[in-house]
Amino acid sequence: MILNLNTQCIKLISDQNMLEPTCASLSPKAKEMAKEERARRSLREKSNNFILPSTRIGDFWCRNFDYLLSDIWGNYKSVQEALHVRPGTMKQFFRCTFTMAYTFDIDDVVPVHKNLTASGLQILVFSGDHDKVIPHIGIEQWILALDLTIDTDWRPWFVDGQVAGYTRKYTDDGYRLTYATLKARKKNS
């Protein structure tokens, strides 16, 4: 009952950044999808028919607009050439697509990362501190499950003299993982 009450209280808060406004969906089909599916999919239908904002001024900016713009950007010939997309292999670019077969979800990343620890890779894992979908506490829990040695304990990292987040480094026999949190910024900064 308490969990249901909590869910009802936060359902209108933006999943991607709880400080940003919740935006109306750009896709009429989005309302028909389960919330989990909407979080992993993007606008596909009639994307060229939407009026695009020219700037992020005031209350008119919405994160959904950036996603829409990425679909348009990805269809520029110069962008596709820069990304070495083979001509004729893609009719239209979409940031997310329903046409490719893939595993929809990986429920537990710990086994994946345990396999990676044997590879000697350097891994960067990051999370925004206002992300409701994948909160930092969950990430910290699965990192602890890897049983890595702390190489460098929590410390702030900076951008332009301001704390931009915090980081902690882990190591295990050549494998290195850096976990960084990203502080939320004002949307117009």
Residue with tokens 């699965």: 142
pLDDT at residue 119 in the model? 85
pLDDT at residue 1 in the model? 64
> In the chain, what are the domain boundaries?
40-105, 110-182
In 66-79, which positions are buried (b, 16+ CB within 10 angstroms) versus exposed (e)?
Answer: ebbebbeebbeeee
Q: Give the residue-averaged pLDDT of 136-161.
A: 91
The top-level CATH class assigned to 110-182 is alpha beta
Q: Quote the pTM value.
A: 0.54
Are the C-beta atoms of residues 178 and 124 closer than 8 Å to each other?
Answer: yes
pLDDT tens readout for residues 36-88: 444 444 333 334 434 444 444 444 566 666 667 777 888 888 988 888 888 88
Task: Write the CB contacts of 95 (distance below 8 Å, at least 6 apart in sequence).
Answer: 42, 67, 70, 71, 74
Q: DSSP per residue over 115-174, as a string? A: HHTTTT-EEEEEEETT-SSS-HHHHHHHHHHTTPEEEEEEEEEEETTEEEEEEEEEEETT
Residues recorded for the chain: 189
Q: Is 165 left (phi over 0), alpha (psi -120 to 50) or beta?
A: left
Q: Give the residue-averaged pLDDT of 9-25.
A: 67
